[in-house]
Chains A and B, each alone.
Chain A
Amino acid sequence: GENVEQHPSTLSVQEGDSAVIKCTYSDSASNYFPWYKQELGKRPQLIIDIRSNVGEKKDQRIAVTLNKTAKHFSLHITETQPEDSAVYFCAASINFGNEKLTFGTGTRLTIIP
């Protein structure tokens, strides 16, 4: 089955700087990669996703890049703000999300004011 690894497990960034979180996946059939943000005790919220037919997607301060050959994808947050502090999970799925998601282990991001 699919295995998703995520690094780093914790990340502290000065406010205004950029944060990068990286994930690798094992199943070359995976073609859908969402990123979720989870605040303490709350539900995961989708912040951005990407399909395997594109290499990059951007939404304001958030971007995701995908390298299918190397089987890794990354989340980039620019101009970080205190409200970006949360746990971020990457995930992978085959069949464009119609199948189950396999989650990474999470990254606790702390923005230092």
Chain B
Amino acid sequence: GAVVSQHPSRVICKSGTSVKIECRSLDFQATTMFWYRQFPKKSLMLMATSNEGSKATYEQGVEKDKFLINHASLTLSTLTVTSAHPEDSSFYICSARPGTSGRDTQYFGPGTRLTVL
């Protein structure tokens, strides 16, 4: 149980285009999902916390107009990188936390490698 999927796994796009990444909890409902960015050989940096039915909470330094997050249902959150530039190239990983009381753990998706040309 507790499987999180991400789509696509890999995307290459031209500079200036927008890219949407989906994060789904497959076998549980997730009231909260988290979006992270990971640079090569670096740690996971939290970008934002996504709450179902409400606005996302962004970490300091993360542009909310550039990284649009929508958590439309209890099993789906999307991250849209708008007007992507080469410096946005990175590994983006989502995680989801089951809403059941007592379940502390966040479960991670497989990640999406974004390359902006």
Chain A interface residues (CB < 8 Å from chain B): 32, 34, 36, 41-46, 49, 51, 89, 93, 96-98, 100-106, 108
Q: Does B116 contact A (CB under 8 A)?
A: no
Top 9 A-B residue pairs of the complex, sorted by shortest distance between their CB atoms: A97-B104, A43-B108, A43-B110, A44-B108, A103-B43, A105-B43, A103-B44, A96-B104, A106-B43
Check if A32 sits within 8 Å of B104, measured CB to CB: yes
Chain B residue at minimal CB-CB distance from A106 = B43
Tell whether A101 pairs with B34 under 8 Å between CB atoms, given A43-B93, A44-B44: yes
Instruction: Report the minimal beta-carbon distance from B49 to chain A, rounded to whole angstroms.
Output: 6
Q: What count of chain B residues pass the 8 Å CB interface test? A: 22
Taking A34-B105, A51-B104 as given, write out 20 further A-B residue pairs in contact, using a Cβ cutoff of 8 Å, ordered by the A residue number: A36-B108, A41-B111, A42-B110, A43-B93, A43-B110, A43-B111, A44-B93, A45-B108, A46-B106, A46-B107, A89-B43, A89-B44, A97-B106, A98-B104, A100-B49, A101-B46, A101-B95, A101-B106, A103-B46, A108-B41
Chain B interface residues (CB < 8 Å from chain A): 4, 32, 34, 41-46, 49, 93, 95, 97, 104-111, 113
Check if B105 sits within 8 Å of A46, measured CB to CB: yes
CA distance A48 to B99 in the complex (A): 20
**B-side contacts of A42, CB under 8 Å:** 110-111
**A-side contacts of B105, CB under 8 Å:** 34, 46, 49, 97
Chain A residue at minimal CB-CB distance from B57 = A100
Between A and B, 29 residue pairs with Cβ closer than 8 Å are A34-B104, A34-B105, A34-B106, A41-B113, A42-B111, A43-B93, A43-B110, A44-B93, A45-B108, A46-B105, A46-B107, A49-B104, A49-B105, A93-B104, A97-B105, A98-B32, A98-B97, A98-B104, A100-B34, A100-B46, A100-B49, A101-B34, A101-B46, A101-B95, A101-B106, A103-B43, A103-B44, A106-B43, A108-B41
